[in-house]
Chain A
Amino acid sequence: AQKITQTQPGMFVQEKEAVTLDCTYDTSDQSYGLFWYKQPSSGEMIFLIYQGSYDEQNATEGRYSLNFQKARKSANLVISASQLGDSAMYFCAFQGGSEKLVFGKGTKLTVNP
């Protein structure tokens, strides 16, 4: 079974600085996808970025980028120029052959003014 690990329960960053949220996964699948979601205190899950296992380029979406290291089985989320509104829970999720999403336990990010 696939396993997703987010080792940072909480992270703090100063406004306007960059921050990296870690995500590692364990799978024997050759084809898979990795997702990052943001969950504000209101509870809804907001899709941020996707990386496919065969994508040659690291995914980017505005201030979000994904540092994908396939050999190390890591898919870290980088948020540049942090804003106060970035304070939230962030979840990494894996999708393999079963097409179900497997979520990590999340990282709580706090952006300080």
Chain B
Amino acid sequence: DGGITQSPKYLFRKEGQNVTLSCEQNLNHDAMYWYRQDPGQGLRLIYYSQIVNDFQKGDIAEGYSVSREKKESFPLTVTSAQKNPTAFYLCASSIEVGRAYYNEQFFGPGTRLTVL
């Protein structure tokens, strides 16, 4: 079955530690995205990548870093510079960039990060 996997589902880390969230897709999608969701809020874009070895900052990129070495993978690192990292993180992918306005994003199941 094609889809997006995120691991782990729950993650606990001590304050000041970097942590990497995994996102893998086997949909052969070009574009991948990372979102953050806080309680009672919508999704906010952290980073996105339209092609391998290229990525752009979203609206709240400070304290986060990403890489896109393979089409299938788009890991997100939450660094110690992120002031309030406890949140629900969602990864998404879409088929291609530039497709005229029907660029549905498919989402993974999410990772809930808690910093102690």
Contacts and interface: CB of A to CB of B under 8 A. Distances in A.
Given A45-B92, A53-B101, A101 B107 contact: no
B42 A95 contact: no
A44 B108 contact: yes
Contacts of A100: 33, 45, 48, 58
Interface residues of A, number: 25
Given A35-B104, A44-B109, A106-B41, 6 more contacts: A43-B109, A50-B104, A101-B33, A101-B43, A103-B42, A106-B42
Interface of A: 4, 9, 31-33, 35, 37, 42-47, 50, 52-53, 91, 95, 99-101, 103-106
Interface of B: 33, 40-45, 48, 58, 88, 90, 92, 97-98, 100-110, 112
